Amino acid sequence: MKSINVAVVGYGVVGNGVARILIEKKELLSKKSQIEINLKKVYTRNWNKQFEYPLPDSLKAYSLEEVLDDNSIDIIVELTGGIDFPLQLMKKAIEKNKHIVTANKALLAEKGKEIFTEAEKKGIRIGFEAAVAGGIPIIRALREGLVANQITKVYGILNGTTNYILTKMLKEKRDFNSILREAQELGYAEADPTLDINGTDAAHKIAILASLSYGGFIDFSGVYVEGIQDISPIDVELGRELGYTLKLLAIAKSHNGEIEVRVHPTFLPEEHPLAKVDGVYNAVMVEGDAVGETMFYGKGAGSLPTASAVVSDIVDIAKSIALGVGREIEITSMNWEHKDLVLTKLSDFNTRYYIRFTVPDITGILAKVSAVFAKYSISIAAVIQKEKVVSLFEKRKEKVVPLVILTHTASEKNVQQAIKEIEEQKITVEKTKVIRVEDEEE
Ligand code: HSE
């Protein structure tokens, strides 16, 4: 039986899971793959701490050179996090002709072009199943299972922390900050959850899925990203009254030769399958021209779910090393057309909108708002005005109420201009809240 040697660099939550699977499931893996996969070395900066899965001294490496200079190591598993250090590590691994497996979505989304181009020159494979949606095998599904399809849309819930917060806001009617604190105490949210909350983590993941789906590199700075930090319980509740559930949705879709890639809080019809994905779970929907709609659901984070994806890449690369084939096909898989994708600008998006104005409860307000909407060709689908007072005008002591308008499909440019004009006319007394709605019209 052919034997392949693996080294892991970075021994955190996922690294511990990878070592556990490679050691405890070695026999199962060799039965399934007909290859012996050996964990040869693990490198971490500091071995003097408690690990969830302690390793024997024989597996511990005390310098990166011990791993990089070992010619018997075929695959390096990069699990260090950040961008600069893993980028340098990967470049060195490529120089040394070692294949790479990584869970690092930030690196691939922001430096993918650089690293894949280097890898391709040397015929090195980079496995990144664990970079998107943890244990869900969405990369392999897009690359292999759905290869017969032109992908028309790929979208989903790609961040567990924000999905946990939004689920609790809906079900327990609590505010954002108290739920975030609870998520941190329970270990669901990182000590610094900034990249989760502001949408960047989901944006990294959808950029990778868009690259794979549409066969080109994405300029990450062109991805529209909006997080959940400004979501108030009032919008979750008013959306629910209209039949919608709020999710942080990551969306990539193609039209007219361009790709629209965006992450933002999104209202979904409550009967939509993604609206039912609760807590820390992830789910991805893929629409293909042959297969129609498909859905993938599972754990998007955690030691063993993510390690399950890492090990799938190790086995996949081990198989192609053993067979001596496959590199040429695999290495181009992020960018099968060798091109940069053209991204649609925010102002050119077309979607439905939930718009909450905060207005005085006086005669003629609704008429003024709807006149501006008509001017910008924005068609109104539903209106809610609450009698419940949210505040009072300081000086005039008038009642101030939320006025919610749900639109039919409209252009982002027109919606933003209409809101600007309404705010300039001083019809509103607070900043207007806009939440995009993903709901196909009949
Ligand atoms: N922090 C991510 C999440 C998991 O909350 O889903 C790692 O990508």
For the stretch 64-90, pLDDT in tens is 999 999 999 999 999 998 999 999 999
Q: What's the CA-to-centroid distance between 1 and ligand 1, angstroms?
A: 37
Q: What is the mean pLDDT of residues 14-39?
A: 97
- Model confidence at 331, pLDDT cuts 50, 70, 90, reads very low
Instruction: Give me the architecture of the 138-299 domain, per CATH.
Output: 2-Layer Sandwich (3.30)
Q: What are the φ/ψ torsions at residue 306 (nearest 5 degrees)?
A: -70, -40
Q: Does 196 contact ligand 1 (Cβ within 6 A)?
A: yes
Atom number, ligand 1, closest to the C-alpha of residue 160: 6
Residue 261 β-bridge partners? 252
Atom number, ligand 1, closest to the C-alpha of residue 159: 6
Q: Is 0.85 topped by the overall pTM? A: yes
Probe residue for ligand 1, chosen from 102, 161, 188, 303 as the CB with the greatest number of ligand atoms within 8 Å? 161
Q: Does 305 contact ligand 1 (Cβ within 6 A)?
A: no
Element (H, E) at 317: helix 303-323
The residue among 166, 194, 195, 358 whose CA lies nearest residue 267 is 166
Is the pLDDT at 332 greater than 70? The verdict is no
430 burial type by CB count under 10 A (0-12 exposed, 13-18 middle, 19+ buried): middle
Is the pLDDT at 241 greater than 60? The verdict is yes
* Active site residues per annotation: 205
For the stretch 99-119, pLDDT in tens is 999 999 999 999 999 999 999
For residue 67, which amino acid is it? V
Atom number, ligand 1, closest to the C-alpha of residue 190: 1
Is the pLDDT at 395 greater than 90? The verdict is no
Is the pLDDT at 336 greater than 90? The verdict is no
Distance between CA 167 and CA 275 in Å, rounded? Answer: 10
For the stretch 288-297, pLDDT in tens is 999 999 999 9
Q: Check residues 332 and 227 and name the one with the higher pLDDT.
A: 227
Q: Does 281 contact ligand 1 (Cβ within 6 A)?
A: no
- Model confidence at 398, pLDDT cuts 50, 70, 90, reads confident
DSSP track, 295-315? EEEEE-SSHHHHHHHHHHHHH
Atom number, ligand 1, closest to the C-alpha of residue 162: 5
Q: Does 79 contact ligand 1 (Cβ within 6 A)?
A: no
Q: Does 301 contact ligand 1 (Cβ within 6 A)?
A: yes
Is the pLDDT at 349 greater than 50? The verdict is yes
For 348-437, CATH gives 3.30.70.260
The residue among 104, 211, 219 whose CA lies nearest residue 154 is 211
Give 420-427's long-range contacts (Cβ < 8 A, gap of 24+): 421/372, 421/375, 421/376, 422/357, 422/368, 422/369, 422/372, 425/368, 425/372, 427/357, 427/359, 427/365, 427/368, 427/369
Give nearest CA residue, ligand 1 atom 8: 301
Q: What are the φ/ψ torsions at residue 295 (nearest 5 degrees)?
A: -135, 140
Is the pLDDT at 304 greater than 50? The verdict is yes
Q: How far is CA 59 from CA 5, 7, 68, 214, 380, in A?
A: 12, 9, 15, 41, 64
Element (H, E) at 224: strand 224-225
Structure-token pair, residue 138 = 């969405």
Q: What's the CA-to-centroid distance between 190 and ligand 1, angstroms?
A: 8
Q: What is the 3-state secondary structure (H, E, C) of 163-177?
A: HHHHHHHHHHCCCHH
Q: Does 127 contact ligand 1 (Cβ within 6 A)?
A: no
Distance between CA 262 and CA 249 in Å, rounded? Answer: 8
Q: Which superfamily does 2-135+303-331 belong to?
A: NAD(P)-binding Rossmann-like Domain (3.40.50.720)
Q: Does 300 contact ligand 1 (Cβ within 6 A)?
A: yes
Distance between CA 232 and CA 181 in Å, rounded? Answer: 16
Atom number, ligand 1, closest to the C-alpha of residue 105: 8
Say if 2-135+303-331 and 348-437 have the same CATH topology: no
Query: Domain residues of the chain, as ranges?
Result: 2-135+303-331, 138-299, 348-437
Q: What's the CA-to-centroid distance between 82 and ligand 1, angstroms?
A: 14
Q: What's the CA-to-centroid distance between 344 and ligand 1, angstroms?
A: 26
Q: Does 200 contact ligand 1 (Cβ within 6 A)?
A: no
Neighbours of 23 (CB within 10 A): 14
Neighbours of 271 (CB within 10 A): 9
For the stretch 183-232, pLDDT in tens is 888 888 888 899 999 999 999 999 999 999 999 999 999 999 999 999 99
Q: What's the CA-to-centroid distance between 34 and ligand 1, angstroms?
A: 33
Distance between CA 225 and CA 143 in Å, rounded? Answer: 25
Tell me, what's the pLDDT at 284? 98
Place of tokens 């020159």: 121
Distance between CA 144 and CA 180 in Å, rounded? Answer: 37
Q: Does 104 contact ligand 1 (Cβ within 6 A)?
A: no
- The proportion of the chain whose per-residue pLDDT surpasses 70, expressed as a percent, equals 95
Distance between CA 132 and CA 207 in Å, rounded? Answer: 10
378 burial type by CB count under 10 A (0-12 exposed, 13-18 middle, 19+ buried): buried
Q: What are the φ/ψ torsions at residue 353 (nearest 5 degrees)?
A: -135, 140
Q: What's the CA-to-centroid distance between 20 and ligand 1, angstroms?
A: 21
